Amino acid sequence: MSKRRGERSTGRKLLVHLLLIVPTALSLLPFLWMLATSFKEPAELLGPMSFWPRKWTFENYVAAWNAAPFARYYINSVIVAACTVALQLVTGALAGYGFARVQMPGRDILFGIILATMMVPSTVTLVPSYLILNKLGWLDTYAALIVPWGATPFSIFLFRQFFRTIPRDLEDAARIDGCSQLGVLWRIVLPLSKPAVLTVATYGWIGSWNDFLWPLVMTDSEHMRTLQVGLRVFTQDAGTRYTLQMAAAAFTIVPILIAYFFVQRQFVEGIARTGLTE
């Protein structure tokens, strides 16, 4: 009997793999094509195309990297994404804690307003934001790329939901021991919220890393530009340098992919623990 069960579960495993392989392949197809193209010689795109390069070349990566100051763009993207994430964590954790645990006037209305800001297309807030950043004298600085995205409804929402799942007893005990409310957040609640922190950080990083129009509009100088802006340089009015563009796309995507692979387990748990719609 145990043997039969073993067979059944092997069969089921096989079925699961079979069911997963097709969607995974579909999800990967554009990436494989991007990668395959990035290793092709430009002339190969002219003939009848084969999926994989007939002749593999690394030239595109070298040429793409040198087509614009990508090293600088990389540093900027990392600085901007890291600072944005840090700020989102601070503002998100504080506000999330405030909404989850602290009494204040107009709490629900405030929370509703914050969620409503998700519903306004950023196309229309672009110029007003530009005017505000100009008044602050922040245009063409890191501040313009970081601060406006330093708080998001998503991170506040996520932290609030997550904190609600942490037993109050723990916090009360700490309060009795003379810990301040802020101290409770810092010493008790946050250490228990690693998955939420990771989730907010992942989404914050993806959003910041992939943003194009904002950094383009808010900065002027080349040395303030980020990777996504750099990717545009391969498109001109009369044509696109596909092989270079694909190589550049590859070297902007791969790092966050690797990072995601390492955090994905905690990431899922982070969302799982929030309960999301309590």
Task: Kindly calculate the radius of gyration of the chain based on its CA atoms and give it in whole angstroms.
Answer: 24
Among 259, 260, 239, 241, CA closest to 249: 241
Is residue 167 part of the contact set for another protein (CB under 8 A)? no
CA distance linking residue 12 with residue 9, whole number of Å: 5
The window from 53-61, 75-83, 170-178, 215-223 that contacts another protein (CB under 8 A) reads: 215-223
Query: Which of 114, 179, 188, 192 is in the footprint of another protein by CB under 8 A?
Result: 114
94: three-class secondary structure by DSSP: helix
Query: Which of 131, 168, 173, 180 is in the footprint of another protein by CB under 8 A?
Result: 131
Under DSSP, the state recorded for 185 is I
CA distance linking residue 76 with residue 69, whole number of Å: 11
Among 176, 151, 174, CA closest to 99: 151
Rule CB under 8 A: which of 223-252 touch another protein?
223, 228-229, 231-242, 244-246, 249, 252
Is residue 187 part of the contact set for another protein (CB under 8 A)? no
Residue 240 backbone dihedrals phi, psi, to 5 degrees: -125, 135
Is residue 62 part of the contact set for another protein (CB under 8 A)? no
Query: Which of 1, 3, 4, 23 is in the footprint of another protein by CB under 8 A?
Result: 23
Q: Are 234 and 241 in contact (CB under 8 A)?
A: yes
Rule CB under 8 A: which of 137-166 touch another protein?
139-140, 147-151, 153, 156
The residue (of 34 and 192) whose beta carbon lies closer to another protein is 34
Is residue 201 part of the contact set for another protein (CB under 8 A)? no
Number of residues that bind another protein (CB under 8 A): 116
CA distance linking residue 222 with residue 130, whole number of Å: 18
Is residue 65 part of the contact set for another protein (CB under 8 A)? no
Is residue 117 part of the contact set for another protein (CB under 8 A)? yes
